[in-house]
Amino acid sequence: MNNKIPNNRAWLLVLPMLVLVAFSAIIPLMTVVNYSVQDVLGPNATFFTGTEWFKSTLNDPALQAAFLRQISFSLIILAIQIPLGIGIALIMPKRGWQASAVLILITLPLLIPWNVVGSIWQIFTRGDIGLMGWGLRELGVNYNLTRNAGDAWVTIILMDVWHWTPLVAMLCYSGLRSIPEAYYQAARIDRASKWAVFRYIQLPKLTNVLVIAVLLRFMHSFMIYAEPFVLTGGGPGSSTTFLSQSLTTMAIGQQDLGPSAAFSLIYFLVILLVSWVFYTTIMNMQKDKPPHGGA
Amino acid sequence: MSYQLENTQRGEKYNTIFSKVSPAQRRNRTARAHWRSRLLLGFYLVLMILPIYWLINMSLQTNSEILGSMTLWPQNLTFDNYIGIFTNSSWYMGYVNSMLYVAMNMLITICVALPAAYAFSRYSFIGDKHLFFWLLTNLMAPPAVFLLPYFQLYYSVGLFDTHIAVALAHCLFNIPLAIWILEGFMSSVPKEIDETAYIDGYSFPRFFVKIFIPMIRSGIGVTLFFLFMFSWVELLLARTLTATDAQPIGMIMTRTSTASGIDWGTLAAAGVLTIIPGILVVYFVRNHIAKGFALGRT
Cα(A269)–Cα(A122) distance, integer angstroms: 32
Question: Which pLDDT score is estimated for B227?
Answer: 92
A183 to chain B: closest CA residue: B4
Nearest to A17 among B72, B116, B124 (CB): B116
Please state whether the peptide bond connecting residue A180 to the residue before it is cis, i.e. omega within 30 degrees of 0. no
- Beta carbons of A14 and B115 less than 8 Å apart: yes
Q: How far is B210 from chain A (nearest CA, A)?
A: 17
Question: Which pLDDT score is estimated for B22?
Answer: 65
Beta-bridge mates of residue B124: A6
- Beta carbons of B293 and A244 less than 8 Å apart: no
Let me know the angle formed at the C-alpha of A101 by A96 and A106, rounded to the nearest 5 degrees: 130
Please give the C-alpha separations between residue A42 and each of A39, A52, A57, A256, in angstroms, as whole numbers.
Answer: 9, 19, 22, 12
Maximum average pLDDT range among A8-17, A162-171, B148-157: A162-171
- Report A:79-108 residues touching B (Cβ under 8 A): 88, 90-93, 100, 102-108
Give Cα A44 distance to the centre of its chain.
40
Question: Which pLDDT score is estimated for B106?
Answer: 94
Residue numbers in B near A110 (CB within 8 A): 229, 233, 278
- Beta carbons of B140 and A226 less than 8 Å apart: no
- Report A:193-222 residues touching B (Cβ under 8 A): 194, 208-209, 212, 219, 222
Q: Is residue A90 part of a domain?
A: yes
- Beta carbons of A123 and B268 less than 8 Å apart: yes
Amino acid at B34: H
Residue of B35, B37, B233 best to disrupt the A interface, most CBs of A under 10 A: B233
Domains of chain B by start residue, with CATH:
88-293 (1.10.3720.10)
Q: Is the pLDDT higher at B15 or at A100? A: A100
Q: Is residue A17 part of a domain?
A: no
Total of domains in chain A: 1
| Beta strand residue intervals within chain A, DSSP E | 5-6, 38-42, 45-48
Question: Which pLDDT score is estimated for B1?
Answer: 43
Task: Count CB atoms within 10 A of the CB of residue A150.
Answer: 10
Q: What is the mean pLDDT of residues A245-269?
A: 83
- Report A:3-42 residues touching B (Cβ under 8 A): 3-11, 13-14, 16-18, 20-21, 23-25, 27-29, 31-32, 35
- Beta carbons of B279 and A21 less than 8 Å apart: no
Cα(A23)–Cα(B159) distance, integer angstroms: 13
Residue A188 belongs to what domain range?
Answer: 61-288
Would the pLDDT of A35 be above 60? yes
Q: Is residue A4 part of a domain?
A: no
Would the pLDDT of A259 be above 50? yes
End-to-end CA distance of chain B: 22
Closest of B51, B82, B206, B144 to residue A158, by C-alpha: B51
Q: What is the per-residue pLDDT across B167-211, written as a single tens digit (0 to 9) for each? A: 999 998 999 989 988 988 888 888 888 888 888 888 888 898 888
3-state DSSP call for residue B225?
Answer: helix
Q: Encode B141-171: b = buried (16+ Cβ within 10 Å), e = exposed.
A: bbbbbbbbbbbbbbeeeebbbbbbbbbbbbb
Question: Which pLDDT score is estimated for B109?
Answer: 94
Q: Is residue A78 part of a domain?
A: yes
Q: What is the per-residue pLDDT across B33-72, written as a single tens digit (0 to 9) for each? A: 788 888 889 999 999 999 999 889 888 888 877 777 777 7
Q: Is residue A126 part of a domain?
A: yes
Residue numbers in B near A178 (CB within 8 A): 294, 298
Residues 6+ apart with CB under 8 A from B109: B171, B174, B175, B178, B227
Helices A27-36, B143-156: inter-axial angle, 10-degree rounding? 100
Confidence bin at B297 (pLDDT 50/70/90): low
Question: Which pLDDT score is estimated for B101?
Answer: 93
Q: What is the per-residue pLDDT across B18-30, written as a single tens digit (0 to 9) for each? A: 555 666 776 777 7
Q: Is residue A34 part of a domain?
A: no
* CATH number of the domain to which A265 belongs: 1.10.3720.10
Question: Which pLDDT score is estimated for A250?
Answer: 81
Residue of A115, A178, A191, A215 best to disrupt the B interface, most CBs of B under 10 A: A115
Q: How far is B46 from chain A (nearest CA, A)?
A: 10
Q: Is residue A28 part of a domain?
A: no
Would the pLDDT of B298 be above 60? no
Residue numbers in B near A36 (CB within 8 A): none
Residue numbers in A near B176 (CB within 8 A): 21
Question: Which pLDDT score is estimated for A115?
Answer: 87
Please give the C-alpha separations between residue A268 and each of A29, A273, B141, in angstroms, as whole numbers.
Answer: 10, 9, 6
Question: Which pLDDT score is estimated for A72?
Answer: 92
Amino acid at A271: I
Confidence bin at A80 (pLDDT 50/70/90): very high
Q: Is residue A137 part of a domain?
A: yes
When the pLDDT of each residue in chain A is averaged and rounded to a whole number, the result is 84
Please give the C-alpha separations between residue A84 and each of A79, A216, B40, B44, B125, in angstroms, as whole numbers.
Answer: 9, 16, 12, 10, 42
Residue numbers in B near A267 (CB within 8 A): 142, 144-145
Report the percentage of chain A scoring pLDDT > 90.
11
